[in-house]
Structure 1
Amino acid sequence: MSLQSPNSDTHTIAFYNTENLFDHINDPLIMDTDFLEKTAKKWNKERYETKIYKTGKAISKIGFKELQKPPALIGLAEVENDKVLTDLIQSKHLKDYNYRFVHYNSPDERGIDVALVYDKNSFSLEASESMTLFVESEVGVRDYTRDILKVSGYLRDEKIHILVNHWPSRHQQSDRTGHKRMFAAQRVIELINDIKGVDAEAKIIVMGDFNDNPKNESIQYLKNEQQLYNPMETLLSYTRGSANHNYKWILFDQILLTSNMIAPGHKGLEFVKADIFDDTFLTQFDGKYKGQPFRTYVGKKYKGGYSDHFPVYIQLQETRHSLKGS
C-alpha cells in the first residue's frame, strides 16, 4: 500500500471494454445463452464472481501509480445489466470508494451495453440519456446495436459532457461494416452539435470501443468535423495497442476531447496525459500469446483472465481559474 497522498487536483478518466461482463442468470429477452452453465462455455457463478473480482481490480489500478487513487470516471463496454454493475462497484477493490453508475438497456441483440461508472466524491451527475444509434446492414435492414450514452455533470467544479460509445463491429478479414461506423461518427457529430448549440464552449469527452483505429476514416471524420483532439493517435505501434488480432496490435479503444481542454491559457480542466493501461498483471504471461491481453475466453475455452482489451485513459488537471457555472 502506498504511503503517498492522493493527487486531489488531477483526475483519471478511463474506458474499458470488459469482454462480455454477463451474469450467470438466463434473460429470455436477450441472446445470453453463451453465458449459462449448461452451454459450451460453462459459465457459472464461480466464473462470474472471478470476472467481477478481476474487473474491479483492473479498474482500481488505472492511473493509480501516478495519482494514488482510482479513476473518477470509467466508461465501460460489454456490460449486461444493472446487476453486474452493482456487483462490480461493490467488489473487493472498488467497494471502499463512492462509486455509482449510469446505465440504460440498449436494443443490442446480444444484450451488451455501455455504461459510465463515476466517483460521487469527484463527479456530480446532472443528466443522462441513452441516444439511439440507427444503422443499417448492406441490404438496408436495421442493425440493432449499442446506443450512445450521454452523461453531463460536474467534475469537481467544471461541467463536462461524456459520450460513451461501442460502435458496430467489424467482420473478420474485411471491412464490410465500415459504413455503419461512419453512421455512428455522424451521430456523435450531431450530439456534439446539440451540446454546443446550448453552450458553444462546452467541454466534451468522447470515449469508446470504436472498432476502428485512430487513422481510420470514421475516427478521422469525427475528429476533423468537430476539431477534437485525439491523444491516442501516438499510442498505437507495432508493439503496443489496446487489443491484439492475429498478432497485430490495434487501438479501437480511444478517448477524444474538445480542444478547449488543451488550448494554452484556457480555464478549467487541462489535459495532462494519455496512455494504455497494460500493466503486466493484465497480460498473458507465457506461451504464444505472451504480452497480449489476458482474456476471459479464447473462443469457447475458459482462460480466467481479465478481458481481451486493455483499458485506456487520460488524465485532466484542474486549474486555479475553474469556477462552477463559468
Structure 2
Amino acid sequence: MKSFNILFWIACVAMMTLPIGCRSIYSPKMVAFYNVENLFDTIDSPGVNDSEFTPESKKVWNTGRYQRKLENISSVIAELGRAEQVEAPAVMGLAEVENRMVVEDLVSSIPLERFKYKIIHKDSPDARGIDVALIYRPGYFKPKHTRFVPLHIQNEEGEPIPTRDILVASGKFAGKKMHFIVCHWPSRYGGRERSIPMRNAAGDLTRSIVDSLRTEDPSSYIVVMGDLNDDPVDPAVRNHLKAGFSPQPEHSDSLYNATASIFLKGKGTLCYRGKWNLFDQFVLSPNFLTSKKGQQLLLKTGVFNQPFLWQQDGDYRGYPFRTFVGNWYHGGYSDHFPSYIIIQ
C-alpha cells in the first residue's frame, strides 16, 4: 500500500500544475461508501416498518431531528474529498436509506447541491424498511444499465427473510467500462454464528454477479462496496466472495479486498464492545492493480474517521458518534465511519 500512497501524491502534485479547467479531467477520483444509520423521513408509510421513526414514537423523530441528520450526513460526504485533497465523491454507495425521497433530500442539501448528484434507488422488501442506493456525479459516471438482484434467504424454520437487494450499476466511469455493486448483507442480529449461513448466501450471490460480469467482458472493472456485516477475514468474504488480501494476476479467480490491510492494522468502521470491525469494505477486480503503461488504477484506500465523527465522552468515547443509542437521541452522524477508494 505504500507504493499506492506515493503514486497518489505524485498524481496530486501533477494535477496542480494543470490549467484549472483541465484538473477535473485528469485528477484522481474518489468512490465512497457510507452506512448512514437509519435515514428515515418522519412519515408513517403504509407497508413500511417505519413507525419507530415518527414524531409520535419513543424516538420522537421529528422534522428538526430529520433535518439535522441530513445536515450531518451531507457535511460528511462533502468533507470526504477535502480531507484527501480531491473532489467530492464521484460515485458513492449508501446503506440504510428508507426511500428515494430521503436520498433526494440528502443530495439537494446545501453542502451537496452544487455537485448535482443523480440517484439510483429501488425500494426493497427488507423487513426493517431500509434499502441501498447509489449517488453519482453525471460528469464522471454515465450508467448504461442498472438492476436490483434479490437475495433469497431463510431462517432456521425455512421461512423466507425479506432483506436488501443488491444494486448493480454498469456504465462508463472516467472513460472506462465499470460496474458498481452496492451491498448490505444480512446482519448479525440473533447472534453471529446463527447468522453466518445468511451472509455466506449473500457472498455466493455477490460472487455470481461478479462472475457473470467478468464472463461478459473480462476487461471491465468491478467495484463491490457495502456493509457486509462481516470482517475481511470472515468466511463469507474470504471463501464465498473470494476476496483475497493481496493483489492478484489480472485473470485470477480471486478478487482483491482493498480494505483488508486497514482491518489487519486494527482499524475499522464501527466498534462493538471495544472491538473494531471493518464491515464497510471495497472489493475490486484484479485489473485495478495490473500495471499497464506504468499505471495502476487504485491509488489509495481509506476510512474517514476524523475526530468530529467520534463520540467525545462517556462509555462510548472514541466510537462513531451516532444518531441514537436505543431511543436516546445523541444527534450524531452514524454508527459507521465511511470508507473510500481513490482511483487514478
Aligned to 2:93, the other structure's residue is in SS state strand
TM-score (norm 1): 0.92
Counterpart in the other structure of 1:108 = 126
Aligned to 1:64, the other structure's residue is in SS state helix
From 317, 325, 331, the counterpart of 1:304: 331
Cα deviation digits, residues 158-185 of structure 1 (max 9, x gap): 1100110000010355420100011111
Report the identity percentage: 39
Q: How does 1:176-187 map to 2 (within 5 A)?
A: 176-187=194-205
Which letter does structure 1 place at the counterpart of 2:63? K
Counterpart in the other structure of 1:229 = 256
Q: Is 1:288 the counterpart of 2:315 in the alignment? A: yes
Aligned to 1:96, the other structure's residue is in SS state helix
Q: What CA distance in whole angstroms lies between the structure 1 residues aligned with 2:135 and 2:151?
A: 21
Aligned to 2:193, the other structure's residue is in SS state coil
Q: Is 1:200 the counterpart of 2:218 in the alignment? A: yes
Which letter does structure 1 place at the counterpart of 2:234? N
Q: Is 1:137 the counterpart of 2:155 in the alignment? A: yes
Q: How does 1:81-230 map to 2 (within 5 A)?
A: 81-171=99-189, 173-221=191-239, 222-224=241-243, 226-230=253-257
Counterpart in the other structure of 2:72 = 54
Q: What CA distance in whole angstroms lies between the structure 2 residues aligned with 1:164 and 1:65?
A: 24
Q: Is the 8 A contact 1:296 1:308 kept in 2?
A: yes
How far did residue 239 of structure 1 move? 5.3
Which letter does structure 2 place at the counterpart of 1:287? G
- RMSD across aligned positions (CA): 1.8
Q: Is 1:315 the counterpart of 2:334 in the alignment? A: no
Which stretch of structure 1 is more off in the superposition, 72-81 or 239-248? 239-248
* Structure 2 residue ranges without an equivalent (≥5): 1-15, 244-251
Cα deviation digits, residues 142-162 of structure 1 (max 9, x gap): 110000000011112111001
Counterpart in the other structure of 1:320 = none
* Structure 1 residue ranges without an equivalent (≥5): 318-326
Compared with structure 1, are the counterparts of its residues 150 and 300 closer, same or farther at alpha carbon in structure 2 (3 Å cutoff)? same
Q: Is the 8 A contact 2:290 2:296 kept in 1?
A: no
Q: Is the 8 A contact 1:223 1:230 kept in 2?
A: no
Cα deviation digits, residues 29-82 of structure 1 (max 9, x gap): 111010001111110111001101111111111132223311001100000111
Q: What CA distance in whole angstroms lies between the structure 2 residues aligned with 1:282 and 1:160?
A: 31
Q: Is the 8 A contact 1:77 1:114 kept in 2?
A: yes
Q: Is the 8 A contact 1:211 1:252 kept in 2?
A: yes
Q: What CA distance in whole angstroms lies between the structure 2 residues aligned with 1:131 and 1:253?
A: 20
How far did residue 240 of structure 1 move? 2.5
Counterpart in the other structure of 1:270 = 297
Q: What CA distance in whole angstroms lies between the structure 1 residues aligned with 2:64 and 2:293?
A: 50
TM-score (norm 2): 0.87
Residues paired across the two proteins, number: 314
Q: How does 1:232-251 map to 2 (within 5 A)?
A: 232-236=259-263, 240-251=267-278
How far did residue 286 of structure 1 move? 2.2
